[in-house]
Every structure is written in C-alpha cells, then in structure tokens.
Structure 1
Amino acid sequence: MPAKGSTVLERLLWQEENMDPARDDKARVSKYRSYRKRVIALVIAVVVVIAGFSVYYSLISKPTGEKTLTVYTYSSFMAYGPNKTKAFNAVFGTFEKAHNVKIVVKTPGNGILQQLQAEKNNPRADIVIGLTNMNGVVASSQGLLVNYTPPADSYINSSLLKDMGSAASYITPYEYSYLGIDYNKSFVNSTSSAVNGSFMPSFGDLAGSALASNLLLENPTVDDTGLGFLLWQIAYYKYVLHDSNWTDWWNATKPYTQGHIYDSWDTAFSYFDTGNHTNLLVSYLTDPAYNNFFGYGNSTGSSVTYHNGTAYGWRTIYGTGIVNGSSNLTLDKEFVNYFLSPTVQNEIPTNEWMYPANSSIALPPSFDVLPNQNNIYPLNNYVTASDIAANIQTWETQWLNLQ
C-alpha cells in the first residue's frame, strides 16, 4: 500500500478478478531470489487486501479532463526496475499531464490477443501494449487494430519493422531482444561445453545428455518465450542445417526434458540454477544486464546458438497499437507516437530489460556486458511474420504430438 504522507495518488493499473499472472503474455520475474520473494509477498498482500484486484499507483495529480484512455498490457510491464512507481509515472503520468487525460491500464489474464479477439464486436480498450512479431499479424489480419504509422517511426531500426511484416502498419515496435540460453558458468565449464571460456552451443550440443538434462524450457503453445524458442529451433534446422526434420531435436531431447517444460517463463525461471539439473534456461540475452545493474554477480551468462562459428538467434519484438473501435483516435495516435519518445524509451532498458526500439537512445553501462547484437544473425530473416501466421498452428500441433 502507499506510504503515509504520499502525494495525491492516481490508480493506474487494474487486474480483473479472473486474471492469472502465471499465464501472462510476458511474465518476467526477478533474477535475484530474495528480491523475487519480496515481490511475491507484496503481490499476495495486495491481492488479499483488495479481494482479487492487483492495484498499482502512480504519484501524480488527478487530471481534470474527462477523457479516459484504457490500455491493455502485460502485468510485468515496467515491473523490474529500481522503482516501478517512478517508471509508471514517467511513462503514463507524463502523458496524462500533457494531454489532461486519465489512463487506466488493465492486464487481461487470458492474454492480450485473446482479450482483443473476445471483445472484437465490443472493444473496451483504446491502446494495446505488448503484441509481438509472433502474434501481431494475427491481430492485424483479424481487423483488431487501426492502421497507423507514427511520425516517430523514422527512429526505429528498419529491420524491426521488417520483422513485424504486414503488422508494421498496425503495430509500432517499442522494445526488442534476442532470446538466449541462460547458463551457470561453473556448470558449462565443468562439462567442457565452454570454448576458451565462452559458451557457444549448437542445437546439436543442446541435444546431448549433459546439456539437455539441465535445460529448462517453456511450452510454446501457451508462452511467448517458448514460442520464440520453437521458431528459433525450426529456423535453425530448416535454414542453417538445411534439415526439414526439425522434430528430430525434440525427439532427441525428450528423454531428458520430461518435467522440464513449463507453462510460463516465470515458473521455469524459478527453478533455474537451483541444483538438480537446472543449469540452463531458455530466456533473454539481456538477462546479464539485469544482474550487472543490481550487482547480483556474474555467475551466470546467456548465449545464442552457433553453427560453424556463426551466431544465430531469434529476436522477439514488442509493439503498441490502436484498438479498432476506439473512440479516441486522435489521442490514441498521440500516445503511440509518444511511446517512441525519449521519455518512454529511456525507461525501457532498466525497467523492461530489453533494447529500446528508438535507435537514438543511449544504453546504460549495465548493457556493456551483453554480446554485440551486430555479431548475431537474426533467424527472423528466414521465418517471416507471414510465415508464422500461416504455419504456427501446424507447428504447435506437431510439437504437441511429440510430447
């Protein structure tokens, strides 16, 4: 709850009573377990006090305007920086004050895309934050979003827009990161998996018993990180190895990964590096920046996959868009453009632990520990957004049949 003596508080973020954070589109938890426990304890306390609603506050004065913008996003948005209230105030409070509007932020428990689909004939949101290059084409092709390209689009790396495919006319990227294989450095050194002190695994290496028995994965049918990894693996097999039998990798790892595939990233992470074959995790390549920023040590690292000395990775992109049916189009467009401004983009690195989409934003020193992205070949170049939309149901069904 807010401390006594706080300034006027504006409730910004609601969660509906049936929400399940474990199925959040992009649940992110702390990389430091004692800190994570404190966060969980706080969330539990809030839920108990307010009977099912997780409520967050921003220290801003209540706007006098009558307009309200309703935003759908994921519950962990801006949640893992040094001060969530400050980050929310910067991102949402600044816009409220500038436009004399109230912003209400909700996190659909059944997923952002699913909520938009359910409300297609009676939309209740104006803005959506958190659709990706993996589901954006679906949202745009189903008429859920408004076609809009903001003026600030010119600051976005053109490769991000390319990865969004046809959805780039509807969804504006605000952050991105390669997925990574997080690893315990002592473990990979003990298994001779490191080369000159660096962990540079191929998918063949990951299928071997020593690594596969330590690999924690996410279910691609219900988790964005898991879906990204599936696309990473399929693209690697089909276009790097020129092997159409991508299911062979899952068959090879199946004896070792039973019980190691989780329905959410946060659940998988809670087991990472806890002993008993938990030394590898499918996560984000930016994770070491988090640990560096908070001084949590460097006992773990993160890597993409390699083949013949070349690094190959999968890049996940998150974007914002305008919900079709919104009655606040002028204000909506202002907000989407504003989301690429330094005011918002400077908050991305140390609150979302992703790269800001605005290429003019300087990165904090904590990101210096990360691999040079320019040395990674994006497998997104092979599997486009249109390919994903056309094949994802088939790929997911094939994956399920292997389990």
Structure 2
Amino acid sequence: MTEPSPSNVTGPLKGLRVVDLTRVLAGPTCTQMLGDLGAEVIKIERPGAGDDTRGFAPPYVPNTKESAYFVGVNRNKKSLTLDIAQPEGQAVVHKLLETADILVENFKAGALARYGLGWEQLKEKYPGLIYCSITGFGQTGPYAPRPGYDALIQAMGGVMSLTGEPEGEPQKVGIPIADLFAGLYGTIGILAALRHKQATGQGQQIDIGMLDTHVAWLANQGMNYLATGENPPRLGNQHPNIVPYQVFPTQDGYMVLSIGNDPTFERFCKSFALEHLLADARYATNAARVQNRALVTETLTEVTRTMPTKEWIARLEALKIGCGPINTLKDVFADPHVLARDMLKEMPHASGETVTVIANPVKLSATPPDYRSAPPVLGEHSDAVLGSLGYSAGQIAALREKGIV
C-alpha cells in the first residue's frame, strides 16, 4: 500500500497508488474510474507532447489550451512528464513501483519490455503488483502485434454489421464505444485482482483485448447468431427481438416508442382506439409482430404522426408506456433528471478557469466518487511527484535539463 492519502480523499480505493502509462481513451477511461474511486493516479506523459489527446482539438475547453477530449477522461490524475525510453526515466518508474499497487498500460503488446517495464520483467521484483494491459487484440493470438483503433475494432467485432439502415452501409456507433468498454472491463478486472491480492498478497496481470471485450458485449445479437447461424440483419432503429421498440415519426419530429411485452401493447392499443389490432393474429403477440415488422411499423406510423412529440410523451408516460424524445446533447445536459442526478461537475483548473466535466455515474451511498482535481496541464505535478520520491530540486533540474522530465 502507498502512504496514507490526503484527508480530502473519500473513495473506496483511497490509499492505492496507480502508475498510469496510458493514453488516448481506453486506458485513461480505466484510470479515471480508479481516480474517481479514490486512488492516487500518476499519469506519465511524454515530455513536450503528453497524451496524444492533448492535440485532439478543436474544440478546446473555453478559455484554456486544453482539448475537450483530454479533459473528458483525465480528472483526478497527477501529470508527470517522463521519457521512459531513457534509463533515468525508467529508474523513476521503478521508484514509483516501490509503493504502487497498480500499473495500467496500453502500449502495443510487448512494447514496454524494451524499457524493462514489461510484466515478465516486473512480476518477480514487485510480486504484489496488479499490472493491467489494454491493447487492441490482447497479449496472445495471431493479431496480438497489431495496433488497435476503435473504428477498426467496431468493424472486426461485428457491431458495424448490425448497425445502420437495412439498405445503407454498415455504421459505427457514434461514440468510441470499443475504447470505452475496454477501459471499463479493465477496471472490473483490476477490482477483482485487488480482492485476490487482499486475500493472498499476490498481484497478477490483467490482459484486456479490445476485440475480446467487443465480442463480449454483442450480447443478445451475438446470441441470436449462435442460436440461428445467421447474421442478424441491420434494422436501423428497430429492435431485433421486440416490436414495436423503435423510432417513430410524430407530427413535429420523432420519438422512441418502447413496448416491451404483450400486456403493454394491449394497453397501448386500447388507449389509442386500436383495439381492432388485438383481434388480428399478425399483431396479437410479440412473436407475430416481429414476423410482421414492416406491417406493424407502417400501421403505427400512421398513428404516431397524428400528435406532436411532447403530447405523445405526456400521454404515454401517464399510461406507463416506455417512450422518450430524441434529445440533442443540448437537451441532454439541460434535462432536469440529468441535472438532478448530478451528472455535470464544475472543477477549478490550473488555467484559472472552471471546467465542466461529465460526472461518474456510479452512485455509492457510503463512498461516492471523488472529484479532487481537474484534468492536469502537462507536467503539472512533475516536481511534486519527484520530490515525494526523494529527488532533490537539483536532481529534478538535472533531469529536466537532459529532457528526461
């Protein structure tokens, strides 16, 4: 365990130190979650450049030089600039590992071994170390040496074959979901490994491949294929197993109507003068509606076009029938429920500005997520971290002069 954490840290991982050798999105998503839960996260960045996402701009956070992309996944971290390709830089990492509990990295498979920082090189020296590797294809298998990118994984992992309009081209999801899932699965693996370490004192490597995690969350569609041997077709905004559960046009826009079972469909029909559909075998059961998807969609579209979205939402909510507007992000971040759930946080930033970030969604009653520090400017904590490791001001200056820090 590391030294006791400052008294302002409240999360369940308080007292744990994380050496963060990640960049872009999958790894930083994992380490931000650990930081939100109270761990001390020391993010190691390249001198003069930093995490690639510092350059993924515009947009920038207003009145700062920080990219919105970087700020989104790097709060609760200390930025230490360090050239790990140099022996002096590697020595600093080893100093950190003397008191670290977790190392998270997302270099290509085997790349850190060139610097003496691979799992096989560290596991004997630091037997309690939890070492999480997040890569595109994992540490083994024929694709292990390949680089991994979100869109590539979405393509190879099958989700693009399921996404898009039936007659259109395959589509990726509108956010980098392959990266995000890999980071979150990494967090789950780390928490499990911490429990094992608590019981045995032993660390271990966690091998997260983005393609593996992508295959894992194919969920019902993956099982649909395994059950039938047929690739599920692209259905646009429709559900493969439930009808009606999709986007419908309204008098002034669109809404999502989610009728998840037959009693709800019956309630819907009786409430909107559609009782005659219940006597028609093509509509009577969900299985029949799935078989007659186009007919059901055409029939209900004529009905949903008769009222504006707001009126539909009000009437359907009163009937406890699943529905919702299709919000823009402006709508989302102004939504009274989103605000009531405290999903936006303002944090003082080193620039002197206040940055707004999306909050952690995990609601813990006793140890809620902790918002201690805004995403750091490059190298913001280098002197403080090195000083805590016993480096003198002169030694730090010498490292900086050599370009190590």
Q: Shorter-chain TM-score: which interval?
A: under 0.3
Question: Which one has the largest radius of gyration?
Answer: 2
* Larger relative strand fraction: 1
Task: Please give the TM-score of this superposition, normalised by the length of structure 2.
Answer: 0.22
